[in-house]
Amino acid sequence: MALFGALSRGKIPYEILHDPICVGHINVVPPEPYNGITALPALRGGAQGYPGSMIDRRGKLNPAALGLAREHYAFARARDPWRAEGEPVRFAGLYVSQESEFFYAGAVGGRTASRPFSRYLDEYHGAFLMLQREHLPMEILTRRDLDRLQEYPVVVLPNAVCMSDAEAEALRAYVREGGTLVSSYRTGLANEWNEPREDFALADVFGVSYTGRRADPYRTFDFVLPEGQFSTEPWESRFVAMRQSVLECTLRQGATSLVDIHDRYRPDSDIRYSGMHNYYVKDEPLCPGLVEHRFGRGRSIYCAGKVFSAYLFTGVWTLRKLMLVWPLERERAEACPVRLEAGPASVELGAWAQPERNRVLVHLVNYQSAPGRMNLVPELPLVDRVEPVHDLLLRTTFGVKDIQEAKLQPAGEALAVEERGGRAVVRIPRVHVHEIVELVLRPGACPQYPDSNRVFDFPRPDLRARAQAWLATNPPDYDAADDGALDFRAWRPPEDYITEWRMAGPFPCDPGQGIRRAYGPERDASAEAAYETPAGPVRWQPFSGTDRHAQGWVEMVPHLGAWGETGFVGYLCTTLRSTRDQRVRFWLGNNDLCKVFLDGEEVYAQVEDPKRPTGEDQVRLDLDLTEGEHTLLVKVECIGHGMGVALRAEEPEAELVAAPTPDAPGRRAYSEAIRGGRDTGRGDGQI
């Protein structure tokens, strides 16, 4: 909802038609959660939602649904005089990099087929969730907002990998003029087309340089807080775990590492059961973790790890404090007009300034839109009642004399205003589902902001010209004079992935141990071989094609008949035929643990870190192939609920054919066929 508002810039009115008022596994959504769900778009400046279908399962008007609709309309109508209108109160701007979503994350399809673009959006969603749970006013920013960054005391860049030179210069100017920039992981390590840079585009602002090395955790990494530097609670540990990857960086002159990242001792591979020894943290830091750097009149806070993704999946509150509390104490106290003090995570805040009426409206919804919370599906528990929260404090940057009246609407209840540290604090006795704090201010005290819907002519990537330039130098039948008009039905995805295999399994094992044990296919991989397992003999079965065709992914679990099971091994085997001696570069992606054998010799092994994010082209394998036939065997162990591989050959010098058996037809590498100008149709079984 917030992202839609940012992209449309108020030019496209929208409402939330919450149609499944009667969902499949229940009769009617209860009133309190329904009111909470529909209040959330109103909080962000959208229209109030309204019920849709009211027909029961016999095709008649559902009286229960009608009763809910009547109650909801009354609920919304009572709050109509305090709509979220005017200008959003400025504090944090959360920058969305659409190029990072499409060209960086979309290049590999995300971690799983069911969660496209997650490689970028996990960081964005984690940052959004952090800001929500800190109850800070925020607004989504895009490239079109780069000319108004100075309106925001804090701008957050969660893993904005793809960054143009123009974007980098706008962000650099923002910090130079006094802004605070919070960023993470690979921000600025590629241009707007995802072409890699050797160092961060904002390395001079971040105060760090990239070494070119990425570290993946065995179990977790740890931020180790220096003793006495941060105001921690007695129960909070100095060791803050983060189960995500880290970029190894070096400090530049003038930068300070507020918190270092430490690795853990990794156990001996022969130890079967990993226990307490995995919790020991090394004394020597791996690299700077959270870096502060003064730049011009502003400063940068850069985190070398995927800290927002870690928070999204774990909810560890100290990660939130690490990014948005301890380093931003000054900004929160001096530049945040309104914020909820230590409110529960269930409450979401949205603040709007209406200077023409000398008031600020603070919407509080006690039904936070956490990822997955909005899906009314049987897999998620449905809330039947919303429990109210009590005794909240709203901190402001206004003086007590600036606030002429404070009321809790729509009840019209007068609120107590106290003075703390020279600033006004409003005590809120109770928030049930959706309440509005109305602050009536003295004339001139209300914040005034420029129209956030105004349009700037900021340079945008010319995707059309980029596509035309690329197409003109690649497909031999492309007509550059045709102004880029393409018949996409004639296009096929690159097919340099190996899709002709035979598959064997499952071989049961203890989780994490099967990858270390040699099963029958490693001793005899012939197509006629059979292998004994506790469930009976296992034989090779032919397999052709992919489950994620565009990325060449082979998902093995459904074909092995092992749905819902964990702790088993499967094998893929193919025969490579090379027309002459050559070195071939292969690219491998795997899920979970994996080994690769060429002619019986192990050439790759991943026996640790089974939870490494899944994707294509994760590992490069340079293999020497002599003229003739070679047996390629891939072993995969399932630790979670999926397993598979994607393997492709990158532009072999001579013809290379992959087939499940030596006498079967195979497929040449796609790139070789293109270079030779041959037909790329599939009719002859080749590419």
Six-digit token pair at 147? 């000319």
**371/562: higher pLDDT:** 562
Q: Is 484 domain-assigned? A: no
Q: What percent of the chain has pLDDT over 90?
A: 47
Whether residues 195 and 105 share a domain: the answer is yes
H or E stretch including 45?
none
- The per-residue pLDDT for 40 is 79
Examine the pLDDT at 537 and tell me if it is beyond 70.
yes
pLDDT-derived band at 72 (thresholds 50, 70, 90) equals: confident
Whether residues 309 and 206 share a domain: the answer is yes
| Contact (Cβ atoms closer than 8 angstroms) between residue 687 and residue 678 | no
Examine the pLDDT at 109 and tell me if it is beyond 50.
no
Whether residues 282 and 171 share a domain: the answer is yes
- 38-47, 212-221, 473-482, 619-628: which range is least confident on average? 473-482
**398/45: higher pLDDT:** 398
Whether residues 162 and 227 share a domain: the answer is yes
Whether residues 325 and 363 share a domain: the answer is no
Residue where a domain stops, chosen among 407, 424, 446? 446
**606/618: higher pLDDT:** 606
Report DSSP state, residue 613: P
Examine the pLDDT at 268 and tell me if it is beyond 90.
no
| Contact (Cβ atoms closer than 8 angstroms) between residue 268 and residue 516 | no
pLDDT-derived band at 178 (thresholds 50, 70, 90) equals: very high
- CB under 8 Å to 358, separation ≥6 — which residues? 440, 441, 442, 443, 445, 446
pLDDT in tens, 29-63: 778 888 887 787 778 776 666 565 566 666 677 77
Whether residues 48 and 130 share a domain: the answer is no
For the four alpha carbons of 492, 498, 502 and 507, in that order, the dihedral sign comes to negative
Residue where a domain stops, chosen among 49, 78, 107? 78
Q: Whole-number mean pLDDT of the chain?
A: 81
The CATH number of residue 174's host domain is 3.40.50.880
Phi, psi angle pair for 166, to nearest 5°: -65, -40
| Contact (Cβ atoms closer than 8 angstroms) between residue 153 and residue 365 | no
- The per-residue pLDDT for 375 is 45
What is the mean predicted confidence (pLDDT) over 326-351?
A: 92
Q: In this structure, which amino acid lies at residue 558? A: P
Residue where a domain stops, chosen among 430, 446, 462? 446
pLDDT-derived band at 115 (thresholds 50, 70, 90) equals: low
Whether residues 55 and 166 share a domain: the answer is no
Whether residues 513 and 642 share a domain: the answer is yes
Note the pTM of the prediction, 2 decimals. Answer: 0.68
Whether residues 162 and 278 share a domain: the answer is yes
Q: Is 291 domain-assigned? A: yes
| Contact (Cβ atoms closer than 8 angstroms) between residue 258 and residue 230 | no
What is the mean predicted confidence (pLDDT) over 648-664?
A: 79
DSSP string computed for 302-318: EESB-HHHHHHHH--HH
> Domain containing 143: what range?
90-336
**185/117: higher pLDDT:** 185
The CATH number of residue 397's host domain is 2.60.40.1180
- The per-residue pLDDT for 198 is 93
Q: Looking at mean pLDDT, say which of 318-327, 447-456, 480-489 comes out highest.
A: 318-327
pLDDT-derived band at 4 (thresholds 50, 70, 90) equals: very low
Question: In the sheet where 582-591 sits, what is the strand order?
Answer: 554-555, 644-650, 582-591, 619-625
Whether residues 330 and 345 share a domain: the answer is no
- The per-residue pLDDT for 566 is 64
What is the mean predicted confidence (pLDDT) over 168-181?
A: 97
Q: Is 473 domain-assigned? A: no
- The per-residue pLDDT for 394 is 96
- The per-residue pLDDT for 641 is 67
Longest Cα separation, the chain: 89
pLDDT-derived band at 603 (thresholds 50, 70, 90) equals: very high
- The per-residue pLDDT for 345 is 84
Phi, psi angle pair for 156, to nearest 5°: -110, 125
Q: Is 185 domain-assigned? A: yes
- 37-41, 257-261, 540-544: which range is least confident on average? 37-41
Cis check: omega of the bond before 81, within 30 degrees of 0: no
What is the mean predicted confidence (pLDDT) over 251-269?
A: 86
Name which of 244, 250, 188 is nearest 218 in CA terms. Answer: 244
Examine the pLDDT at 489 and tell me if it is beyond 50.
no
What is the mean predicted confidence (pLDDT) over 567-591?
A: 91
Residue 498, helix vs strand vs coil: coil
Q: How many domains does the chain have?
A: 4
Q: Is 660 domain-assigned? A: yes
Examine the pLDDT at 673 and tell me if it is beyond 60.
no
pLDDT in tens, 202-249: 999 999 999 988 888 766 889 999 988 888 888 888 999 998 889 999
Six-digit token pair at 456? 């700037």
Whether residues 142 and 42 share a domain: the answer is no
Phi, psi angle pair for 367, to nearest 5°: -165, 75
Examine the pLDDT at 89 and tell me if it is beyond 90.
yes
Whether residues 110 and 65 share a domain: the answer is no
What is the mean predicted confidence (pLDDT) over 276-289?
A: 80
Query: Burial level of 271, CB count in 10 A (0-12/13-18/19+)?
Result: exposed
Q: Is 486 domain-assigned? A: no
Q: Is 460 domain-assigned? A: no
Examine the pLDDT at 371 and tell me if it is beyond 50.
no
Examine the pLDDT at 403 and tell me if it is beyond 90.
yes
- CB under 8 Å to 382, separation ≥6 — which residues? 26, 29, 30, 33, 376
DSSP string computed for 219-263: S-EEEEPPTTTS---TT--SEEEE-S-EEEEEEPTTEEEEEEEE-
- The per-residue pLDDT for 23 is 43
Q: Is 604 domain-assigned? A: yes
Six-digit token pair at 657? 């054919």
| Contact (Cβ atoms closer than 8 angstroms) between residue 639 and residue 512 | yes
Q: Looking at mean pLDDT, say which of 93-102, 170-179, 551-560 comes out highest.
A: 170-179
